Structure 1
């Protein structure tokens, strides 16, 4: 009845509203979600921009967080696994001011699969670095505006 992308966006919106209101306030939208890649767009609006009319650092961090974590949550749910997910470290490199809607791209699907395989088989916490690139397609195509490396930490629950 509803597409998987519609369901994922509904889940993200409800998760943000009920668990992490800052996510909800940034109004992210999942553009692509498959086995290999996730793309999340955060619009440049009053709530997400800074005094220079570019995307505020905090909103960029929210986008990187969602892009790095949503794929792991989605993959675990599709497997029927319950996991605990957190970020242990973050590195950000800001290359150019994002002065339009920003799309956050994470293409670490295979790495996340391997992490989930390891934690479900061993029960141990698994930490790996995932890469998220922030782009402004409407202004600069695929040119990277910011690059984030987040240490994703997953552990099987229960």
Structure 2
């Protein structure tokens, strides 16, 4: 299936901002930034600042969860936009492993674009909700993995 249109990084960043303003205020509060996006992978950044810092001076669990959520979800939006589909998605399960305190800005990497694309297309073809687990890694400024996440993405094409 040929893509209907190319989707720019700027458009996806705008969609992320609007989602935070109108639907999920916690996104707007944490201010995740879209660093890069392609069919294969996405990188999201969250700055360590007063809003995202815990009492130990590292990134708060909730802010790390927001980054993982956005990293998996934005790719589902990306493919829906690219192929002109209306989707409904949610996360069915969430597993996290915290390897080290995140004491700097954090980037979240999801390299499972192919898996998410297949999930969206399968949901479209079958007409029912489909589920798939996706892996996300959080890295600090030095490139050290500070956390890893396994989220079960559930997608339905409307």
TM-score by length of 2: 0.94
Residue 14 (structure 2) aligns with: 10
* Mapping 1:60-75, distance limit 5 Å: 60-75=64-79
Question: Cα deviation per residue 1:61-120 (whole Å; 9 max; x = unaligned)?
Answer: 000000010011111111001111000000000000000111000000010111011111
- Pairing 1:153–2:154 present: yes
How many angstroms apart in 2 are the aligned matches of 1:42 and 1:36?
A: 21
Q: Unpaired segments of 5 or more residues in structure 2?
A: 1-6
Question: Cα deviation per residue 1:31-80 (whole Å; 9 max; x = unaligned)?
Answer: 01000000000000100010011000000000000001001111111100
How many angstroms apart in 2 are the aligned matches of 1:9 and 1:133?
A: 20
Q: Unpaired segments of 5 or more residues in structure 1?
A: none
* Mapping 1:22-101, distance limit 5 Å: 22-101=26-105
Per-residue deviation, 1:21: 0.5
Residue 108 (structure 2) aligns with: 104
How many angstroms apart in 2 are the aligned matches of 1:83 and 1:117?
A: 11
How many angstroms apart in 1 are the aligned matches of 2:17 and 2:29?
A: 9
* Mapping 1:132-143, distance limit 5 Å: 132-136=136-140, 138=141, 140-141=142-143, 143=144
How many angstroms apart in 1 are the aligned matches of 2:8 and 2:95?
A: 31
Q: How many residues align?
A: 152
Moved over 2 A (4+): none
How many angstroms apart in 1 are the aligned matches of 2:80 and 2:115?
A: 13
